[in-house]
Amino acid sequence: MGLFDALFRSSEVLGIAEETLEFALESSAETHPNEYMGFLRGTEASALGLERDGLVITDVLVVPGTETNSVSATVRTNMIPNDVKALGSIHSHPNGVVRPSDADLETFGRGSVHVIIGAPYQRSDWRAFDSQGKPTQLNVLEVELPDAEEFFDFTQADIDEDLQWE
């Protein structure tokens, strides 16, 4: 995708892929009693076979160097990629409370949707919020995600073409 396409793609978030939500729930359980933290990335709905304009949350990006404990997660901001696909954040609350804390609200400015997952990390133990911390609807969508191996399927010519646009 070229820079022009990235700047003008639809910004409406249609929902989160079921497989992505399951990944986040499992990751939250695995890091318990510490918090889990990541950034949400999306894919154009049309690339997933949906006949709608908008984005589907398909990936969770865990930033290297993120430090977590039972009450907080600290992301090294210098490690956050400047990514046009970033849609918001996702993190867990080991205490089970699925509403944003004051500290959460301070981080909600980047992106349009933020997900909090609470212990015991079951399918019903999460909520989505907008950038102001107000609850928002986030549909769980059954879509087939692209093969992870495709992410690494590029050639030197592809890299050269991308660099030409910078």
Q: In angstroms, how far apart are the furthest CA atoms of the chain?
A: 49
R_g of the chain, CA atoms, integer Å: 16
Options 19, 26, 35, 166, the catalytic residue: 35
35 tagged catalytic:
yes
Report whether 61 contacts 39 (CB < 8 A): yes
Residue with tokens 């918090």: 35
Report whether 115 contacts 24 (CB < 8 A): yes
Eight-state DSSP code of residue 163: H
Both tokens assigned to 18: 């079921």
Active site residues: 35
